């Protein structure tokens, strides 16, 4: 599994059931989609997969959605799922990395040493007629020793400083109409627009059929958005989920000087003391 961000369905099928291999269903669905990710997991998942609930493994002391929990809370939650920081981990989802990339990023942020994504995701696994199972998987509890990478995540104050000093390019993964302020935000009380000076690259432009596009297409997409991929980047989105897809795309290009704004537009757009642009 070393040397790549992804594993193939063939690889995963050949290693199913190995005790140190943890498979994670990281599917995340927006309320507007009218679906329930956990119920879909229970109805059908890759054998042995546990479900990583982004909304549950989160900081519940804030009203912002699925903010990162403390390292201690994260370690307890994933340890209860049967995941250790030394496990070999493969993450998949059913929605073009909408949740999978966030789970991949989060695990790495807290110190998991070997985390990959499944190329083609659940859709490919199913299309190839590979085995499925139902119900909830319970693995033996494990000890996850968290080593939180503070440099990988940005706070509101960090973003204010970056906006002022230009030390990073801010890249927003939301659809263009929301970025430009032409479409209403899905969360009540959140203004429309974007962080001043930021660039827009909708996350869906980097993904096709459950895979990140080839590196040359990723590089071209960032270039067309006005982003210099050789310089430091801050990714943002609606609530810190699809921003991880931009981060994943940059990782495929070898760019690791990237931070993710966890509060994203759910925080910035809901405040009265943060500037916004529309265009």
Instruction: Please report, rounded to a whole number, the percentage of residues in the chain having pLDDT higher than 90.
Output: 93
Spatial contact of 111 and 46, defined as CB atoms under 8 Å apart:
no
Cα–Cα distance measured from residue 39 to residue 136, given in angstroms and rounded to the nearest whole number:
10
Residues 109-136: tens digit of each pLDDT: 999 999 999 999 999 999 999 999 999 9
Tokens of 256: 């690791």
Cα–Cα distance measured from residue 139 to residue 192, given in angstroms and rounded to the nearest whole number:
43
Bridge partners of residue 126, in order along the sequence: none
Cα–Cα distance measured from residue 267 to residue 278, given in angstroms and rounded to the nearest whole number:
17
Tokens of 136: 């909830």
Bridge partners of residue 92, in order along the sequence: 25
Bridge partners of residue 261, in order along the sequence: 154
Spatial contact of 59 and 120, defined as CB atoms under 8 Å apart:
no
Residues 61-112: tens digit of each pLDDT: 999 999 999 999 999 999 999 999 999 999 999 988 999 999 999 999 999 9
pTM of model > 0.85: yes
Spatial contact of 226 and 219, defined as CB atoms under 8 Å apart:
no
Residues 52-69: tens digit of each pLDDT: 999 999 999 999 999 999
Q: Which residue among 75, 107, 237, 258 is the active-site one?
A: 237
Residue 210 confidence (pLDDT) above 60: yes
Residue 198 confidence (pLDDT) above 50: yes
In this prediction, residue 1 carries a pLDDT of 35
Residue 28 confidence (pLDDT) above 60: yes
Cα–Cα distance measured from residue 139 to residue 49, given in angstroms and rounded to the nearest whole number:
9
Please, what is the average pLDDT of the chain? 96
Domains of the chain: 6-148 (3.40.250.10), 151-268 (3.40.250.10)
Active site residue 10: no
| Torsion 223-225-226-231 (CA) sign | negative
Q: What are phi and psi of 192, to 5 degrees?
A: -95, 150
CA atoms within 13 A on the CB side of 35: 13
Residues 245-278: tens digit of each pLDDT: 999 999 999 999 999 999 999 999 999 999 999 9
In this prediction, residue 2 carries a pLDDT of 34
């Amino acid at each position: 599994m070393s040397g790549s961000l992804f594993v193939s369905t063939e690889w995963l099928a050949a290693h199913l059931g190995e005790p140190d291999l943890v498979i994670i269903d990281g599917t995340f669905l927006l309320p507007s989609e009218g679906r329930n990710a956990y119920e879909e997991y229970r109805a059908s998942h890759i054998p042995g997969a546990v479900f990583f609930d982004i909304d549950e493994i989160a900081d519940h002391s804030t009203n912002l959605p699925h903010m990162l929990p403390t390292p201690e809370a994260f370690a307890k939650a994933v340890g209860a799922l049967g995941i250790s920081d030394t496990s070999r981990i493969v993450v998949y989802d059913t929605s073009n990395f909408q949740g999978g990339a966030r789970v991949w990023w989060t695990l790495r942020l807290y110190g998991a040493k070997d985390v990959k994504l499944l190329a083609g995701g659940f859709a490919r696994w199913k299309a190839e007629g590979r085995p499925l199972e139902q119900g909830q998987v319970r693995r033996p509890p494990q000890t996850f020793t968290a080593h939180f990478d503070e440099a990988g995540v940005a706070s509101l104050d960090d973003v204010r400083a970056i906006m002022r000093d230009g030390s990073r390019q801010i890249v927003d993964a939301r659809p263009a109409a929301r970025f430009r302020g032409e479409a209403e935000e899905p969360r009540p009380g959140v203004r429309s627009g974007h962080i001043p000076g930021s660039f827009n690259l909708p996350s869906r432009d980097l993904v096709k059929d459950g895979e990140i596009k080839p590196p040359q297409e990723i590089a071209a997409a960032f270039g067309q958005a006005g982003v210099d991929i050789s310089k430091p980047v801050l990714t943002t989105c609606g609530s810190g989920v699809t921003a991880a897809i931009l981060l994943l795309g940059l990782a495929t290009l070898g760019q690791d000087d990237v931070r993710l704004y966890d509060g994203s537009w759910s925080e910035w757009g809901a405040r009265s003391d943060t500037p916004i642009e529309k265009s």
